């Protein structure tokens, strides 16, 4: 599944256009490698997403073409959140 679609369907990012923009800005990594919006996401991959000064790291548990809001969190496991500060 494409990265931008996964981020939207899993509701890690609410809109696919925003997911595409974030990926294009170099703020998403798959298994430690910078990812493009068209990068392929597979079960077991570790995604790191930069939201401002916060980094969210999740493991992909399921892939689904669509999901209900209440089931979206089942698509990944939150591994950690880190606040990055300069200095």
- Tens of pLDDT, residue by residue over 49-66, are 999 999 999 999 999 998
Q: Is the pLDDT of residue 87 over 60?
A: no
CA 63 to CA 49: how far, in whole Å?
Answer: 18
CA distance 61 to 11: 14
CATH of the domain at 16: 3.10.290.10
* Residue ranges making up the domain that contains 20: 3-83
Per-residue pLDDT tens for 68-80? Answer: 888 999 999 999 9
Of 14, 12, 73, give the one whose Cα is nearest residue 47.
Answer: 12
Give the total number of structural domains in the chain.
1
- 3-state helix, strand and coil shares in percent for the chain, rounded to the nearest 5: 25, 30, 40
């Amino acid at each position: 599944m494409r990265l931008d679609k996964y981020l939207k369907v899993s509701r890690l990012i609410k809109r696919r256009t925003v997911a595409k923009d974030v990926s294009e800005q170099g703020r998403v990594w798959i298994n430690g490698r910078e990812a493009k919006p068209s990068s392929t996401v597979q079960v077991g991959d570790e995604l790191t997403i930069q939201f401002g000064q916060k980094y969210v790291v999740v493991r992909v548990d399921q892939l689904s073409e669509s999901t209900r809001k209440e089931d979206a969190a089942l698509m990944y496991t939150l591994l950690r959140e880190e606040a990055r500060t300069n200095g």
